[in-house]
Structure 1
Amino acid sequence: MSTAQAAINKATYSRFHDAVNTRDLEIISKAIDEVVAPDVRFHTPAPIDATGIQAFKRVWAVLLPAFPDIHVAVEDLIAEGDKVVSRNTVTGTHQGEYRGLAPTGKSVVYQEIFVFRFSDGRIAEVWGVVDLYSQLRQLGAIPGP
């Protein structure tokens, strides 16, 4: 795959990322419809029971009420071939129910890394590693070290 295609994939990812940081579920959902393949394969530790594009949408339907001020800062964005890798720092304040945990009002900062595979200009597959341990420890759901 060409360097030009890798740049296009990076730009497509950036469109999705910009939508996420609006914190507007309607804008995020529209961006997902535009940049994610309907049958996307989603390999992440998400607290959802959906597949394909609905899994993508459900993640944000769960996260936004729980962390209405959520912000995803891209620390590294690397594109090669048909893949884009994003290493992110996520911040937010726990203001709604999340993973069975009542709102705590606590702020969280955690890391995540996602690999997105593109096909026909859309995100076709996603692998993610999210530091849930750190997130849940900061919320008091599990004891710290």
Structure 2
Amino acid sequence: MSIDANKALVERYYHELVSEQRLDLIEELIAEDAADETRVGPGGSGTREDFREHLRWLWQNVKDVKATVEDLVAEGDRVIAFWRIEGTHTGPVFGVPATGRTFSGFSISTLTIRDGKVVRYNVLPDRLGIIQQLAPAGL
């Protein structure tokens, strides 16, 4: 696939799968043997089910989640996504119990693409920035 096609796939991942909560797209966008490193750790092996679990967790704990791609950088089979997450904190996130507060945070993700599908996903969120918005004062 071309770099432009890989970037388009990543845009769809965040817009349609994450924000629109279109779990029906998982087979189309994610390879069966894909590894969601948020679930299996760096270099681990996994399945699509890991992605389903991650997304269900996100949707349960961040109501009205919106993922907005700010920029994409790609080379070969890799796409780096600079993206923003917004939503309402309705369940535990980074160790902070539900607060009902809205928040916004930035993340950088690496997605590896093979044959038009994501085969590896890793994210580096701004945990501190998000925790500072959610945690009680003085924590």
- Say whether the fold is shared (TM-score over 0.5): yes
What percent of counterpart residues are identical?
26
Question: Residue in 1 aligned with 2:43?
Answer: none
Query: Could you say what the CA RMSD is over the residues aligned between the two structures, in angstroms?
Result: 2.4
> Separation in 1 of the partners of 2:110 and 2:35?
12
> Separation in 1 of the partners of 2:83 and 2:137?
23
Q: TM-score, normalised by structure 1?
A: 0.79
> Separation in 1 of the partners of 2:35 and 2:137?
30
Higher strand share: 2
Q: TM-score, normalised by structure 2?
A: 0.82
Does structure 2 conserve the Cα–Cα contact (< 8 Å) formed by 1:118 and 1:124? yes
Question: Residue in 1 aligned with 2:91?
Answer: 97
- 5 Å matches for 1:1-145? 5-19=2-16, 20-22=18-20, 24=21, 27=22, 29-44=23-38, 51-94=46-89, 96-99=90-93, 101-140=96-135, 143=138
Alpha-carbon shift at residue 137 of structure 1 (Å): 2.4
Deviation readout 1:6-43 (Å, 9 max, x if unpaired): 11111122222221221x3xx2x222211111111222
Deviation readout 1:101-133 (Å, 9 max, x if unpaired): 442111111110011111111111122111122
Task: Name the amino acid aligned to 1:137.
Answer: Q
Unaligned runs of 5+ in 1: none
SS in 1 for 2:82: strand
Unaligned runs of 5+ in 2: 41-45
